Structure 1
């Protein structure tokens, strides 16, 4: 694997042969490869491989290994401290060929580490090294199943548009995490290695492009996917974490619209179990019918809000409720299923690019980060329920992108990434449009949807105001000096604009 460093043979007293890296970059993947000489009727359930890692600081992590076919087991780990680590691998029942110990050196690297919540301002994400992250995600239904050249080309295209996260896959009844029995039913004791290896490939390709992966539905139990019994579900969670815990760009979101298949207690237990298995080192959320029950939102494992609120009418202003959500439960907000251009629930409203663009800015300046899907069916119509394999979000660059919102999202992401956005929070009370993100006293970004004059409450001192065109990504030449307590400004024309107000001593 491309993420794994030079392999070295480590020999224990039992003369077991285990391939493991001698060194690995901080937040890179350490992977040991173990091969047993024994025959197991079901290697997924008859053997448990466990590894313990001892950090230079004295921290200790115990993680599971996983079976990967051909009598091969793997152990993956992501070291987060520079220095020499020790490790011990054991199998239960004991297997002399899968028991070993050794050490490796974790070296400094340019990797930023996994996604975190900003501890200073929980509206935002950072990477583990403290680098702020403004997420712009794209929805790829078949992330695990796209041919590698197609997926690589798709990710390159998306990266060029400013996307730095991928949401997907959503597995399907004919393509689940489980193997299938001869009669077509899921085998809740064995896993579908084609799917899991496809996910490995997707995580690798995304990591090479500095892109985070947010799964849509792995565990299933909703939307036509089988629901595993409790013991099998725990087997699945352990297997999933074992495979993904070495990828810095992994996050964990178990299923879509969990309310359709799980009780509140069940989903809370799933989140708790993932948090335990990952040692709290990766972000966890869960996709809801809207914005999750309060008990889920307040759970210690619940890292960020995952919102579903489709733009099914010409009502782009409705997303101001995201500011209230953050005020009530202060965690980052991913507008996961809101702006899906061409989606069959959004119909004409979801094909109107002006409506979509305005909604994107209301979401963004109310504190949300966007997951966009291109579900437009050529030549340009909204998707019908019978349409399968007809959209860019399903096929990637096996077809041409059809959505028209890409340029506007690129402009939006560049606007935010040029600001100290990580110091800003929603302040709808400060502006007449009710759409304002601000570092109060220093910086204000206000959305004006219709060219009307806007009023902004400011401290009594001088500020500099400029207008950003969300349609072109250009700044208007007009620059004004304003002061509080109430400034009133008129956009350059009757269309939508973004007003940026900076304290005069920060204006340059």
Structure 2
């Protein structure tokens, strides 16, 4: 069958004659930032990312016509199975029989506190490839409960097993390993009460909302800084200072470095042994790389910020988006074993999963199973989309992580019966791409729309303002006008009734969204419209106090008196106004 728009680009490039045709029309193909990923897409998909040809239908038609003339018998070499595609099973004779059982030195604290990381440091063997040749785990017991934490190799003969105790009292542990020296190590520790700022990992609460393990309400107000941990210490420390002063309590961040527009520099370190020139050994993670990443997660936790850890993404020129199924699973086992005992972790399987053309639907279900098997603390899991929404009915999906504008938030909530987090709704900025040059007013409008419709939202910023350091990817300094308005929005949200889990969509006969707590609290948002007055119809018998909230100028004006049943409120006739109605307690 001749090559055409539906042929996978990588298949075309394996055919010498077909490759010559493609390069005739795409002479700078090798300069494409996403070439590694584009090779897994259909030719028509790949062209959609390429300047010039993307907007030239005549050139596209000529390319397709010339490709169709390549002889059908022409074929490139048959792809060989890569070493990365073969899993490695730890052997039972990794250490000889004369090595005493449990002879490795174990370093541990005698005590821990609830919802803080407890660690076993084991000094064990270094021969072979300890990353793949050694299996290590420990069973932690508290009374009748037993939880299993998996260990990981941290280089230099050091193995670590991390655990986050969630109950006070005496815990015991016992290790299991194919390495005799690491087998059957036992011990105990005492877990004391949580510190005043330790609330435990975030869980789904009341079906559509979130709370920490200790019952503290969590209202996610997030931001995106995809590659902030790959910028070098000076900018990364600057990012942490900016976050400390910001309203954000969640950050979306990629484990792997990013290659895309405004992201062309090499990162200071890489996740695996090897180099861009010589290639990578996906069976040997670089412990220093992951140690650095986890340090940043810990620092976020100290600021009260959740780390939404993105495990895969398509913006890649190094090959990390296409390591092969076995290497993907090994990487996940390593990362989850290493990070799962950090209380402020969320797992995001992908940023824009539907652009990761090398991975099929089965990959995501298999990855979720790996995570669940290696995370004894059941952190949240979501899958972020580009265009095609992920099927969030999957039982392992805890919340919907969505890239869209926010008007359909209530529909998604109803469709999947899970919390909705609109993690990408556009970016305030001034770059050349439409997704990154929203006016700040539009950014804030979308955020309020999502919140009033019962969801949660994530900020983003692509402000140039004199340099090419964009918060969206690099971190650094927040330059835009929306972050201050996000802080104001967060304050309004935190003034919900204390026992309310969050905002739910409320029925309304009006043409504007209303959310809140039935019979007790209502929040109506008018967006860019500018009414001078607005009628309301609420349940009779309940009196309400009314506030007019200017979401852009960040003011709250309480209207005099109380209101009940059917009434009309005066409004300022300006845009970005919300009305808050709170039931009187007396």
TM-score, normalization by structure 1: 0.85
Match of 1:417 among 494, 503, 506: 494
Offset, 1:122: 2.1
Change (3 A) 1:61 1:291: farther
Matches within 5 A, 1:159-238: 159-169=244-254, 171-172=256-257, 177-180=271-274, 183-216=277-310, 218-220=311-313, 224=317, 225-238=320-333
1:116 matched to 2:203: yes
Q: How far apart, CA to CA, are the structure 1 residues paired with 2:431 and 2:276?
A: 35
Q: Which residue of 2 aligns with 1:88?
A: 174
Q: Which residue of 2 aligns with 1:476?
A: 557
User: Which consecutive segments of 4 or more residues in structure 1 shift more than 6 A?
Assistant: none
Offset, 1:456: 3.0
Matches within 5 A, 1:424-439: 424-427=502-505, 429-430=507-508, 432-439=510-517
Offset, 1:428: 5.4
Moved more, 46-55 or 431-440: 431-440
How many aligned residue pairs are there?
A: 468
Matches within 5 A, 1:122-137: 122-137=207-222
Offset, 1:155: 2.6
Question: Structure 1: 5+ residue runs without aligned partners?
Answer: 1-11, 310-317, 381-388
Q: How far apart, CA to CA, are the structure 1 residues paired with 2:128 and 2:239?
A: 40
Change (3 A) 1:409 1:237: same
Match of 1:305 among 379, 382, 400: 400
Q: How far apart, CA to CA, are the structure 1 residues paired with 2:417 and 2:354?
A: 22
Matches within 5 A, 1:93-104: 93-94=179-180, 96=181, 100-104=185-189
Change (3 A) 1:345 1:360: farther
Moved more, 275-284 or 128-137: 275-284
Q: How far apart, CA to CA, are the structure 2 residues paired with 1:267 and 1:185?
A: 25
Q: Which residue of 1 aligns with 2:163?
A: 77
Instruction: Check the 8 A contact 1:320/1:435 in 2, yes or no.
Output: no
Q: Which residue of 2 aligns with 1:18?
A: 106
Offset, 1:267: 1.2
**SS at the partner of 1:197?**
helix
Offset, 1:49: 1.4
Match of 1:250 among 337, 340, 345: 345
Q: Which residue of 2 aligns with 1:329?
A: 416
Matches within 5 A, 1:385-464: 390-397=469-476, 400-420=477-497, 422-427=500-505, 429-430=507-508, 432-449=510-527, 450-452=529-531, 453-461=533-541, 462-464=543-545
1:501 matched to 2:581: yes
Change (3 A) 1:190 1:15: closer
Structure with the greater alpha carbon radius of gyration: 2
Q: How far apart, CA to CA, are the structure 2 residues paired with 1:501 and 1:401?
A: 33
Offset, 1:280: 5.7
Question: Structure 2: 5+ residue runs without aligned partners?
Answer: 1-99, 260-265
**SS at the partner of 2:427?**
strand
Change (3 A) 1:379 1:285: same
Match of 2:439 among 346, 352, 374: 352
Could you report, residue by residue, the CA deviation over 1:186-244 in whole angstroms, capped at 9, with x for unpaired residues?
A: 3221113332112111111011111110023x244665543222222221111111100
Q: Which residue of 1 aligns with 2:59?
A: none
Instruction: Check the 8 A contact 1:26/1:109 in 2, yes or no.
Output: yes
Moved more, 489-498 or 443-452: 489-498
What value does the CA root-mean-square deviation take over the aligned residues? 2.5
Offset, 1:81: 0.9
Q: Which residue of 2 aligns with 1:271?
A: 368
Q: Which residue of 2 aligns with 1:40?
A: 127
1:53 matched to 2:140: yes
Q: How far apart, CA to CA, are the structure 2 residues paired with 1:281 and 1:291?
A: 26
**SS at the partner of 1:475?**
strand
Instruction: Check the 8 A contact 2:164/2:377 in 1, yes or no.
Output: no
Q: How far apart, CA to CA, are the structure 2 residues paired with 1:182 and 1:458?
A: 63
Q: How far apart, CA to CA, are the structure 1 residues paired with 2:279 and 2:435?
A: 39
